[in-house]
Amino acid sequence: MVAGLRAAVSSVKKIFPLPKHVAIIMDGNGRWAEKRGLPRLIGHRAGTDNVRRVVECFDAYQVKYLTLYAFSTENWRRPGEEVDGLLRILAEMIDRETRELHRRGAKLRHLGRIDGLPPLLQDKVQEALEMTKNNPGMVLNIAFDYGGRAEILEAVRRIIQDGIPSEEITESVFSSYLYTADVPEPDLVIRTGGEIRLSNFLIWQTAYSEFYSTSTLWPDFGEKEIEEALVAYSQRERRFGGLKAEGEAREG
C-alpha cells in the first residue's frame, strides 16, 4: 500500500486539474458477496474495510474533501437482519478507524439524520465528530441515514421556522441550510458498481458536478480505479452552463 501511495503522490504532477471535492456512491457490496457465494453482510464488511485504503489514496492526491454515501434514507427498507448488520459494522468502523483518522489529521463529518440511529451508535458518532473537529487535514463526510430530498425538505422547514422572507431566499441562503453548508460542491461524483444514477445523493449540490461510473464493485475499488477516475476528470471541460470553460474568453 505504501508503494502505491508513493506512486499516487508522484502522479499528482501528471494529473491536472485535480478535484477539490470528490463524492462517491459506494455501490456493489452485495453483488461482490453474491459473486463469491457469500452472505451480503460479508460484502458490506469488505466494503467497509476498503474505506481506509480509499481515504488514504485520495489523501495522497491531496483531495481536500471526500464524501462517502454509506447508508440512504431508503436503505431502512432492506431486511431487518441486513440493516442491523450494517449498523453493527458502522459501530465497529467508528471504533476501529476514528483514532487512525484523527492521527492523520482528518476531520470527520456526518451528513444526514442522527436521531434514527440506536442511542449507543449516536454517542459513538458524536464522539468521533468531537475528537476530530479541529483537525486541519482532509474533511471526510460520511453520509449515513442521508437522502437528498429529505435534506432539501429539512432545509425548507428550517428556513420557514427562521422566518426568512421569500425575497431573501437566494441559492446561497438555501445552501447554508443544507448538511453541507460549509463544504464546496463536489467537483466529481464517482459511482462504483456500474450503475448510472445519483440515487438521491447530494441532488442540490451536484448540479454541475462531473459524473464518473465504473463497473468495479466497491470492495475492489482501489488505486488503479481512482487514478482512472481522476484522469477522466482532468480531461473534462467544465462549462457551468456557459459556452467556454470558466476563465476563458467567450467568442461570438
C-alpha cell at 61: 492526491
C-alpha cell at 120: 449507543
Higher pLDDT, 3 or 138: 138
User: What is the Cα Rg of the chain in Å?
Assistant: 19
The answer to whether residue 84 is catalytic is: no
pLDDT score recorded for residue 11? 55
Tens-place pLDDT, residues 186-215:
999 999 999 999 999 999 999 999 999 999
Identify which of 225, 223, 217, 216 has the alpha carbon closest to the alpha carbon of residue 2: 223
Distance CA 179, CA 119 (A): 21
Tens-place pLDDT, residues 211-222:
999 999 999 999
Tens-place pLDDT, residues 144-155:
999 999 999 999
User: What are the phi and psi torsion angles at 141 (to 5°)?
Assistant: -95, 125
Q: pTM for the complete prediction?
A: 0.90
Distance CA 193, CA 239 (A): 28
Mean pLDDT of the chain: 92
pLDDT score recorded for residue 13? 53
The answer to whether residue 49 is catalytic is: no
Task: Choose, from 75, 135, 200, 220, the residue flagged as catalytic.
Answer: 75
Contact predicate 34/43, CB 8 Å: yes
Identify the residue whose cell numbers are 482512472: 228
Segment 6-24 shows an average pLDDT of: 78
Residue 6 has pLDDT above 60, yes or no: no
Q: How far is CA 92 from CA 34, 43, 88, 175, 203, in A?
A: 23, 15, 6, 32, 29
pLDDT score recorded for residue 43? 97
The separation between CA 120 and the C-alpha centre of its own chain, rounded to angstroms, equals 24
Tens-place pLDDT, residues 88-118:
999 999 999 999 999 999 999 999 999 999 9
Segment 19-31 shows an average pLDDT of: 97
> Domains plus CATH for the chain?
17-233 (3.40.1180.10)
Distance CA 154, CA 151 (A): 5
pLDDT score recorded for residue 7? 54
